[in-house]
Structures are given as structure tokens and as C-alpha cells.
Amino acid sequence: MMKAIGLNHSFESAVADIVDNSLDAGARKVLIRFIRDSASLRSICIVDDGHGMDDKTIDRAMTVGGDRNYDEDDLGHFGIGLKAASLGQARKLTVVSRAANQPAVGRRWLIDAASKGFECDVVGSGFATSLLDRDWRHLTPSSGTIVLWTEVKSFAAIADAKALDRFIDSYLTKLRHHLGLVYHRLLAAKKVEIAVDVEDVAAGEVGLPFSVDPIDPFGYIRSCRGDYPKVLRSTWRDRPIELNCCIWPGRSNHANFKLSGEKAEPFQGFFIYRNGRLLQRGSWNGAVLPERELQLARVAIDIDDTQSALFTMNAEKTRVEASSEFGAVVQSATDGKTTFLQYLDHARSAYRDSQKRKRERPKVRRPGKGFAEAVRSAIDDEYEFLPGEALDVRWVDLGDDTFFELDREDSLIRLNRRYRSAIIGGRDSSLNDAPLVKALIYLLAEESFHGAFLGAKRKDNLAMWQSILTAAARAESK
Ligand SMILES: Nc1ncnc2c1ncn2[C@@H]1O[C@H](COP(=O)(O)OP(=O)(O)OP(=O)(O)O)[C@@H](O)[C@H]1O
Ligand SMILES: [Mg+2]
């Protein structure tokens, strides 16, 4: 059993299982550090500044299925996460920990020893203390816990430094994405800060930390339909259940929509949360058949342990199994006007409309440098793009007081730098500043970048806009 547990975890879901424990221990900061030498990965450390463990607690922590009393807002549930997640990924698991005003303690499991008997090693207090007192930069675990994985299985066969670089990069990216999604509510609410970094012991260097940023699967700029999101209510055994029904804008390229994939279609359906942590990213749980036309439909549900006869999570906490009663719960959900089935129809027709409307619109030049990501993504949601160079926008000294200048040859909209500080107000200037003004000028001027010449009508329009906008810009900077 010890060899089998944890094998269903991916690397990133295994790390999340460890981070769950840190959150349950009240950690405000968590660091995941990859420790490498020139050509191999030595270990992975997950460090937290939670309340830590004493000698007795750490023994229970290392016990498979070790029981404790859970608070209702705890993420832990089964009593196996730490062992299963770790030994699925690494052949050696070391845990060191320190509770307030207690000596540091440590334990170690070796997968080979563990599969012969339930004995784990005691790690000396000196070693535990020195590990906790290392300079972790992102946090100082005066009380806290470090989970250390050595002999990480997926890194075992790497032959050279270049391959290791690529491997670490791709693991970091996947990990930040996964944690950003799973904990997006907790990260956005600033309940915890998570960072990831790489230490090269051969070079004696620690790289810059990357923060884990929230990825909100419901984070669209505006819904396809003004009347959404809607909360549809239902009951299960006289207890209320809320379905928070959303419809994404069609054809979005937003990372919040596509999540880790190329397409958003697999991420339709129920997003199930427990204590603010995302368990399931889409799936209709058998209540509805997935279909292409439902890809804009996402429904958030918050569950708790009083509903354990309706929802069971898998041991990896990546999926939720719904019981056969769930279909009826979903079918009867309503807000008094809209039923769940009508919601599905609204999502389908929103999808069909978005396909149609977007195709019927004239194609535009892709917005390039100088536009804020949110602006680029919103334009991308609405239009199809012409082939060819992107259209950039840049602040430049124009020599006179005109507001803008179009450079058709370089695909560039120049804005007069003398108005910049007036327009961005007190904020810092940056490449992608002034998103609103830039979006407006894009909408106005983009068409002038089509075709080989500017006709008389378009030239006249440009002259008119120039005089009005220049007057407005002068007034803005008074
Ligand atoms: N980082 C940590 N800080 C403090 N205590 C910890 C930490 N990690 C684990 N523990 C203790 O070890 C116990 C066992 O952890 P484990 O992840 O194996 O099970 P669990 O969290 O109780 O349940 P689940 O299997 O659902 O994760 C926890 O209940 C907690 O008491
Ligand atoms: Mg756990």
C-alpha cells in the first residue's frame, strides 16, 4: 500500500496537497524551492510559517491515516495527504518542524523502509533547527514546517544541465499555474502568499522568487449577457445549495478561460470549492452531457462536509464525485425566473451568437506593444485579426502640440509625450500605461491602417479627430 498511495497525483497536485497542510497550520507565507546542483535536482522544499509541530504532533503527522480533530474550515480530511503526495513523488520524505517555544523536531520516511514496516526515522533536532534557520528569503519560519522531498522520481533520469534547466522551467510554470488556480480565492483575498524559487547549490545562488498569482476561472472582464451571473438555488435534504451560474464571453483568449489548455471546452461545468480551495475545474458530474456549445458555461459551487453524502472528493482533491441525487438537485435549481435548463440554453445561444457576430465583423489589426494586457484580451474577445504586423502605440515627442500621429509604414500610433503625465494622473508611467485613452484611439484610428491608401474621407476624419483631441488634451493638461 505504501508503494501504491499517491501514484494518482501529478507533481503539481502533490505539491498542492502539502500546501493544504501549510494553510491548515495557519501559514501566511509558503515557499516552494527547487534545490539543484549543476546537473541534477537534489530536492524540493515546501517551507511554511504556520504554527508548526511538536514531538507528539509530528509522530501523528507521519502516521498513515493518523487521526486528528478537524476544524470545519480545514482543508485536510483523510489523514494521508502528506505521506501519499510525498511518497508518490519522491523516494525520501523528510519533515522538520518547530512550534512556538518548542525545540525543532524532524522525521524521515524512506519509501523502501516504509514498505517493509511502519517505522520512520527520527531526525536530530540540530539538523531540524539548521534547516529551519536557513535563509529562505521569502519567509522566516520562526515557527513553521519544511517538507523536503529527495530523490524526486520524475527528475531521476535527467542526463545533463540543459535538460534539467528545461525540466525545472516547465515544472515551475505548471506548478505556478496549478497553485494559482487552486488557491485563487485565498491568494486574491491575501490570506496567503506563495512563492517559487530555484537554488543552485553548485553556484551558491538563489534565483529571484516568482510569486504565484491568482488565476480566476470566473475572472472575465464582462459577461456575454448583462443578466449574468445568476445565483440559482436548490435544496438537498432540506439544506440549501447555490449554483453560481456564469456565461463567459465567447471566444476569449484569456488565460482565465483557457486555463492550462489550448481550448476552454474541457473546462465547462461545475467548479467546486471547499473552504475557498478549488477542488474540481469543470465537469458536469453526470448531470449534463458535455457539449461544444456549452463551453461558455461555468458554475461555481461551494461545498462543505455536511454534504458528504452528496459530494465526495477524491484523495488527491482534484475531483468531486457526486451521488445520484445530484441530477435532481441541479434540475430543480432556479432563482424564481430562470431554471437551470434555461441557463444552459442561454449559454448555448451566447456561444452561437459569439461565433456568428464575431465572424460578421470586419477584421482588425492585432493590438501589439503599448496596450495593456486587459485591452488586448478584450479586443481579442471581440474581433478576428487581419494577418500581418500588430499595431503598436507609443508615447513620443511629436515636436508640436498635436495629440497623435499615425505611422502606417511602421504600424504605429504615436501619442504626444507632452500630455502623458496629465493623462496618467499621479500613476507611474509604463509601457502599457493609459489603457483607456489607448483603447479609444485604437478604436478610432485602427481602420486607417487598412488598405494601401487613405481616401479623402478618411483623411478628413483624421484631421477632424486631430483638432478635437488636441483641444481635449490641452484642456486635460491645464
Ligand atoms: N505544514 C504543516 N504544519 C503543521 N502541521 C502539519 C503540516 N503538515 C502536516 N501536518 C500535520 O500532519 C497531519 C497529517 O497530514 P496529512 O496531510 O497526512 O493529513 P491531513 O491533512 O490531516 O488530511 P488529508 O489526507 O486530507 O491531507 C495534519 O493533520 C497536521 O496535523
Ligand atoms: Mg493534508
For residue 219, is it within any domain?
A: no
Dihedral over Cα of 333, 339, 345, 349: its sign: negative
Mean of pLDDT values over 7-15? 94
The CATH number of the domain holding residue 148 is: 3.30.565.10
Tell me which residue of 232, 229, 228 sits closest to 242, measured CA to CA.
232
12-66: pLDDT as tens digits: 999 999 999 999 999 999 999 999 998 899 999 999 999 999 999 999 998 877 6
106-121: pLDDT as tens digits: 999 988 877 777 778 8
Give yes or no for residue 82 CB within 6 A of ligand 1: yes
Give me the domain span that covers residue 378: 373-476
Spatial separation of the C-alpha atoms in residues 281 and 298, rounded to whole Å: 9
304-360: pLDDT as tens digits: 989 999 999 998 999 999 999 999 999 999 999 999 999 999 999 999 988 887 778
User: What pLDDT does 154 receive?
Assistant: 86
Spatial separation of the C-alpha atoms in residues 267 and 264, rounded to whole Å: 5
Asked if residues 350 and 297 have their Cβ atoms less than 8 Å apart, the reply is no
For cell 503625465, what's the residue?
421
Give yes or no for residue 144 CB within 6 A of ligand 1: no
60-107: pLDDT as tens digits: 998 877 667 788 888 888 888 999 999 999 999 999 999 999 999 999
Asked if residues 54 and 105 have their Cβ atoms less than 8 Å apart, the reply is yes
Is 242 found in the same domain as 149? no
Is 168 found in the same domain as 61? yes
Can you give the C-alpha Rg of the chain in angstroms? 27
The ligand 1 atom nearest the CA atom of 22: 1
For residue 366, is it within any domain?
A: no
Domain count, the chain: 3
Q: What are the grid coordinates assigned to 413, written together?
A: 500610433
For residue 467, is it within any domain?
A: yes
Name, in order, each residue with C-beta under 8 angstroms of 75's C-beta and a sequence gap of 6 or more: 20, 21, 23, 24, 274, 275, 277, 317
Query: What are the backbone angles phi and psi of residue 7, rounded to the nearest 5°?
Result: -75, -15
Give yes or no for residue 61 CB within 6 A of ligand 1: yes
Give yes or no for residue 66 CB within 6 A of ligand 1: yes
Give yes or no for residue 79 CB within 6 A of ligand 1: yes
The burial of 432, by beta-carbon neighbours within 10 Å (0-12 exposed, 13-18 middle, 19 or more buried), is given as: middle
Q: What proportions of the chain, in percent to the nearest 5, are helix, strand and coil?
A: 35, 25, 40
CA–centroid distance, residue 21 to ligand 1 (Å)? 5
Q: How far is CA 160 from CA 130, 204, 352, in A?
A: 30, 19, 50
Is 22 found in the same domain as 151? yes
For residue 267, is it within any domain?
A: yes
Query: Which residue, 331, 358, 385, sits at the end of a domain?
Result: 358
For residue 365, is it within any domain?
A: no
Is 301 found in the same domain as 330? yes
Is 119 found in the same domain as 17? yes
- Mutation to probe ligand 1, out of 82, 94, 96, 274 (largest number of atoms < 8 A from CB): 82
Helix (H, G, I), strand (E, B) or coil at 263: coil
Average pLDDT, rounded, for the chain = 92
Is 377 found in the same domain as 352? no
For cell 474621407, what's the residue?
457
For residue 79, is it within any domain?
A: yes
Query: Which residue, 183, 211, 239, sits at the end of a domain?
Result: 211
The ligand 1 atom nearest the CA atom of 84: 18
CA–centroid distance, residue 76 to ligand 1 (Å)? 6
For residue 159, is it within any domain?
A: yes
CA–centroid distance, residue 198 to ligand 1 (Å)? 25
| Confidence band of 138 (pLDDT split at 50, 70, 90) | very high
| Confidence band of 254 (pLDDT split at 50, 70, 90) | confident
Give yes or no for residue 83 CB within 6 A of ligand 1: yes
Give yes or no for residue 249 CB within 6 A of ligand 1: no
User: What pLDDT does 75 receive?
Assistant: 87
For residue 449, is it within any domain?
A: yes
| pTM, entire model | 0.77
CA–centroid distance, residue 79 to ligand 2 (Å)? 6
Please state whether beta strands 392-396 and 412-416 pair in parallel, antiparallel, or not at all (unpaired): parallel
Residue 287 reports pLDDT greater than 80 = yes
347-394: pLDDT as tens digits: 999 999 888 877 788 999 999 999 998 899 788 878 889 998 999 999
User: What pLDDT does 67 receive?
Assistant: 67
